[in-house]
């Protein structure tokens, strides 16, 4: 299967190249005029070490390590740094890469910038509210956009919709 092979190859490449994994030295997120800002010390207090490594240090979590990759309930995926809503569960799909993937962000939720690190040409995705690094977007997703927003699960939180919560209560 192509998507499984893609996930395996991407995960292997990240490991072999040592691409800013959670355990590696992280570089600081670029400064910007974001509505939510904190000092580096405050970010360290607000975030777990893994969240800090990804959101502020532009790290990448290991593929298949996030429970959000298998999250299929109705709701919203929000930034773990500032709680801004980023993606609807309606746009989530299984890309087979090992990271939560979406074909479209919510309106004005993310910013895209060019990432030329390690000799690669990619488009990085950041939260538009706090500037936290979320992942990358690639042009190999499903219709209707053809895009794959490949996000680090540790950079997000899932909030179940009220309707889903009611349904879950009825099932108990």
CB 140 within 8 A of CB 148: yes
Query: Stretch 153-163: mean pLDDT, rounded?
Result: 92
Instruction: Express each pLDDT in 64-99 by its tens digit.
Output: 999 999 999 999 999 999 999 999 999 999 999 999
The residue whose two tokens read 């927003």 is 149
Q: Where are the beta strands (DSSP E) in 29-163?
A: 75-79, 85-88, 92-93, 101-102, 110-115, 122-127, 133-138, 148-151, 156-160
Instruction: Express each pLDDT in 6-16 by its tens digit.
Output: 444 444 444 43
Strands 156-160 and 75-79: antiparallel
* Separation of alpha carbons 41 and 162, rounded Å: 35
The residues annotated as belonging to the active site are 150
| CATH number corresponding to 2-171 | 2.170.150.20
3-state secondary structure of 66: coil
Q: What percent of the chain has pLDDT over 70?
A: 76
Strands 110-115 and 92-93: unpaired
Q: How much is the pTM?
A: 0.80
What DSSP string runs through 88-103? EGGGEE--SSSS-EES
What DSSP string runs through 37-52? ---HHHHHHHS-HHHH
DSSP label at residue 170: H
DSSP label at residue 72: -
């Amino acid at each position: 299967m192509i998507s499984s092979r893609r996930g395996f190859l991407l995960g292997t490449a990240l490991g072999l190249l040592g691409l800013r994994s959670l355990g590696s030295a992280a570089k600081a997120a670029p400064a910007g005029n974001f509505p939510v800002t904190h000092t580096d010390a405050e970010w360290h207090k607000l975030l777990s070490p893994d969240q800090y490594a990804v959101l502020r240090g532009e790290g990448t979590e290991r593929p298949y390590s996030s429970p959000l990759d298998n999250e299929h309930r109705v709701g919203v995926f929000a930034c773990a740094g500032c709680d801004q809503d980023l993606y609807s569960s309606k746009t989530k799909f299984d890309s087979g890469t090992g990271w939560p993937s979406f074909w479209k962000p919510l309106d004005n939720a993310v910013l895209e910038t060019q990432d030329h690190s390690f000799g690669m040409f990619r488009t990085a995705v950041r939260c538009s509210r706090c500037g936290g690094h979320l992942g990358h977007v690639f042009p190999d997703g499903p219709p209707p956009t053809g895009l794959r927003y490949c996000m680090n699960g540790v950079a997000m939180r899932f909030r179940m919709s009220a309707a889903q919560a009611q349904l879950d209560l009825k099932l108990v």
